[in-house]
Amino acid sequence: MARILVNNSGPLHGEVEISGAKNSVLPLLAATLMTEDICEIEDVPDLADVSVMKKMLRKYGAEIDDSVHGIIRTRTPEIVTFEGDRDLVTEMRASLFTMGPMLARCGRIVMPMPGGCTIGKRPIDLHLKGFRALGAKVTEDAEKGTVTVEAGPEGLSGDAIYLDFPSVGATENILMAAVLAKGTTIIENAAKEPEIIDLANLLNKMGARIKSAGTDMIRIEGVESLSGCIHQAIPDRIETGTFMLAAAITRGDVLIKNALPGHVRPIIAKLKECNVDIDIAPEGIYVDARDKELVATDIKTLPFPGFPTDIQSPFMAFLTTVKGQSVVRETVFENRFMHVVELNRMGADIQIENREAIVPGGRKLHGAKVRATDLRAGAAMVLAGLVASGTTEISEIYHIERGYEDFVGKFKALGADIMKIDD
């Protein structure tokens, strides 16, 4: 099993370039199934999850050219199967993003139940509710562990759909299915994340008629077909937040390039509350925590534009090092405190009460053998290791490689004492 070794590194300094957003690229690639034409997605990060999605698209019949780094060109002249590959779906939950495109283009999809991170139940009931509202028949087979979604003889028809929770995945899947449905679809209580806007921008370039993406009510006028296009993915706001916190936790200064400040405003606000200097410059976001007495603050995760749940664990690692006590409340996923056990191995002494974590600051962390219990928890372990005495050894780093491009290399370039060991 591969591991990452991190030693106390002192203040990080320099520049880091943010890659394209994993959480945008995966649905963008899935959307290319909706046309026979060539689509080109740019600024695609080299990630394990992207590799899985490429395999998934090829199973459906896509021809993929990824010979140029950061660019994926797809063409799907014919769909060769209606069934999602069980091994790939089990490996990555984001395989679900192919359901909406397949239903829209072919009127049928058979999908095994998904896998992915263990941060919560994350059911797909909202996805299925949306498909049903568009006129599809949903059949679940508990014995086979599959769900079959089929459009009626007349295809999908637009309707008003209210989401009980502003789920990003459900919003994206319903959005893609509705683009080729007859009539008008309105998604109420829709997710407002930047990744939703990015997907809508791609689909509109392909010929869709989507309005108000990024608000809680999205309107889609169905069209008969889509064509190919060229589209550049937005930068990864979670990677941006991770490197902002890397500068803060090491009391360093880092210029984060190719970052969009509007996508990380809650992180900027909370770091400022902790007395971190942040400057929005033409080149990017400059984070300076040198010679500062940093203080505690409380955070509460919420759907966008609230504080992102994906930054909760890296921010908690940072809070262990500041003056005072913090409270971290997780409202999005019910099982996203697994990293607390690992931080406590390093001397954090965090207490959990229901869905709140009480974080005493000013701790002197020490190196330990810890696990990356999920993707973002893995990043949190690295951040903690940067300021801990001795060596921190992080296992199960495949989680980290699912979501961060050249993770070790980027940290090394900032002066981190970090290395990957391949056993």
Domain endpoint, select from 217, 232, 247: 232
Considering the domain architecture, whether residues 355 and 386 belong to the same structural domain is answered as: yes
Which residues on adjacent β-strands are paired with residue 327? 358
pLDDT at 278 > cutoff 60: yes
pLDDT for 286 = 98
Considering the domain architecture, whether residues 53 and 7 belong to the same structural domain is answered as: no
pLDDT tens-digit profile of 125-182? 999 999 999 999 999 888 888 999 999 999 999 999 999 999 999 999 999 999 999 9
Phi then psi dihedrals of residue 21, to 5 deg: -75, 120
State mean pLDDT over 92-112: 94
pLDDT tens-digit profile of 384-416? 999 999 999 999 999 999 999 999 999 999 999
More confident residue, 113 or 270: 270
Considering the domain architecture, whether residues 293 and 392 belong to the same structural domain is answered as: yes
Domain endpoint, select from 208, 232, 256: 232
If pLDDT is split at 50, 70 and 90, which confidence band does 336 have?
confident
Mean pLDDT of the chain: 95
pLDDT at 122 > cutoff 70: no
The DSSP line for 22-86 is HHHHHHHHHHGGG-SS-EEEES----HHHHHHHHHHHHHT-EEE--STTEEEEE-SS---SB--H
Q: Domain holding 364: CATH number?
A: 3.65.10.10
Residue 413 backbone class (left: φ over 0; alpha: ψ -120 to 50; beta: rest): alpha
State mean pLDDT over 292-305: 96
Considering the domain architecture, whether residues 247 and 203 belong to the same structural domain is answered as: no
State mean pLDDT over 90-98: 89
State mean pLDDT over 246-257: 98
More confident residue, 1 or 416: 416
pLDDT for 233 = 98
Considering the domain architecture, whether residues 57 and 143 belong to the same structural domain is answered as: yes
If pLDDT is split at 50, 70 and 90, which confidence band does 114 have?
low
Considering the domain architecture, whether residues 171 and 262 belong to the same structural domain is answered as: no
pLDDT for 298 = 98
Active site residue 117: yes
Considering the domain architecture, whether residues 92 and 152 belong to the same structural domain is answered as: yes
pLDDT at 116 > cutoff 60: no
Domain endpoint, select from 193, 215, 232: 232
pLDDT at 119 > cutoff 50: no
Query: Cα separations (Å) of 184 from 6, 157, 175, 191?
Result: 53, 8, 11, 19
pLDDT tens-digit profile of 9-61? 999 999 999 999 999 999 999 999 999 999 999 999 999 999 999 999 999 99
What domain range includes position 310? Answer: 3-18+235-421
Catalytic residue, chosen from 39, 117, 229, 274, is 117
Number of domains comprising the chain: 2
More confident residue, 113 or 367: 367
